[in-house]
């Protein structure tokens, strides 16, 4: 079962030893319910490890690119010490939807046979309210800087994609990040694109950008990016994609002055 409530790892240990993460694989054994507030119609499933997961389906409209973005952004955030629920690869047999009366859901699951992306379900988590849940300035600043690097367009007041669980902030739903990968032919032209953060939900609390920005940006190395990319299942990538992501993200990381909020 996923380790719920554990403190997010920092990506390193004393003495320079690195924490090695592995995207665990589980098998869905029961489809519980769809989450209709998500545009891609994710669903809650139970798995053979007794865990419960929110699953993003490969057969949804955004396709595998959204799953790739979830893994790259989510696992990068984890290694940077930001709180992200555990991600897993969820093997799905369409038979799990046999009791689901909604034909749309049945068709989605049939189209998603095989590997999908699961995020540990946090029972009782609350949607983030920026008025009710003030966030410490350092954490808010680090989240904003991370979002700037991965070009997260989905952390606004209208759709924060943040949860409060056991009193702590958790980052979810990164399928809309890395949107350069929807047009590889143009990707090289936007590698240093600045980040528009006027609408970011944590902007009022992110008052330590001058300190936290350069410090976090310095941790995003080609080696760290390659480590994150190794988590992405081959079946979600086209030939040459892994190298293309590494090249693009490494170039972006090399010029933080182009995208750091200030």
Q: What is the pLDDT along the chain (262 residues), one digit of tens a residue?
A: 334 443 333 344 334 444 444 689 999 999 999 997 666 789 999 999 999 999 999 999 889 999 999 999 999 999 999 999 999 999 999 999 887 888 999 999 999 999 999 999 999 999 999 999 999 999 999 999 999 999 999 999 999 999 999 999 999 999 999 999 999 999 999 999 999 999 999 999 999 999 999 999 999 999 999 999 999 999 999 999 999 999 999 999 999 999 999 8
Which pLDDT score, from 0 to 100, does residue 5 have?
41
Q: What share of the chain is helix, strand, coil (3-state, %, to 5)?
A: 35, 20, 45
Q: Which two structure tokens, joined as six digits, stand for 166?
A: 């056991």
Q: Which of 54, 68, 34 is nearest to 119 (CA)?
A: 54
Q: Which residues contact 254 (CB under 8 A, 6 or more apart)?
A: none
Single out the residue of 3, 8, 6 nearest to residue 142, CA to CA.
8
**How far apart, in whole angstroms, are the C-alpha atoms of residue 50 and residue 156?**
34
- pLDDT value at position 52? 98
Please tell me the predicted confidence (pLDDT) of residue 16: 45
Distance from C-alpha of 63 to C-alpha of 61, rounded to nearest angstrom: 5
pLDDT of the residue at 1: 38
Question: Whose structure tokens read 């380790």?
Answer: 3
pTM for the full predicted model: 0.90
Task: Report d(CA 184, CA 244) in Å as an integer.
Answer: 9
The pLDDT value recorded for residue 14 is 38
Q: What is the CA radius of gyration of the chain?
A: 18
Closest CA to 170 of 72, 85, 52: 85
């Amino acid at each position: 079962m996923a380790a719920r409530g554990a403190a997010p790892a920092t990506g390193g240990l004393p003495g320079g030893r690195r924490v090695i993460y592995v995207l665990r694989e589980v098998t869905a054994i029961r489809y519980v319910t769809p989450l209709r507030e998500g545009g891609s119609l994710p669903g809650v499933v139970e798995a053979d490890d007794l865990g419960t997961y929110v699953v993003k389906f490969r057969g949804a409209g955004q396709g595998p690119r959204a799953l790739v973005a979830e893994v790259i952004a989510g696992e990068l955030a984890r290694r940077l010490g930001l709180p992200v629920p555990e991600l897993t690869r969820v093997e799905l047999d369409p038979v799990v939807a046999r009791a689901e009366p909604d034909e749309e859901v049945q068709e989605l699951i049939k189209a998603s046979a095989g590997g999908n992306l699961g995020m540990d379900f946090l029972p009782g988590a609350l949607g983030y309210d920026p008025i009710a849940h003030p966030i410490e300035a350092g954490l808010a600043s680090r989240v904003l800087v991370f979002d700037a690097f991965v070009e997260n367009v989905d952390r606004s007041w209208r759709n924060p994609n943040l949860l409060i669980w056991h009193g702590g902030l958790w980052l979810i739903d990164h399928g809309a990040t890395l949107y350069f990968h929807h047009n590889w032919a143009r990707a090289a032209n936007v590698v240093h694109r600045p980040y528009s953060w006027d609408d970011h939900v944590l902007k009022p609390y992110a008052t330590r950008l001058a300190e936290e920005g350069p410090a976090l940006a310095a941790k995003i190395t080609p080696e760290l990016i390659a480590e994150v990319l190794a988590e992405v299942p081959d079946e979600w990538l086209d030939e040459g994609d892994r190298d293309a992501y590494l090249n693009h993200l490494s170039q972006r990381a090399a010029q933080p002055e182009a995208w750091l909020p200030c």
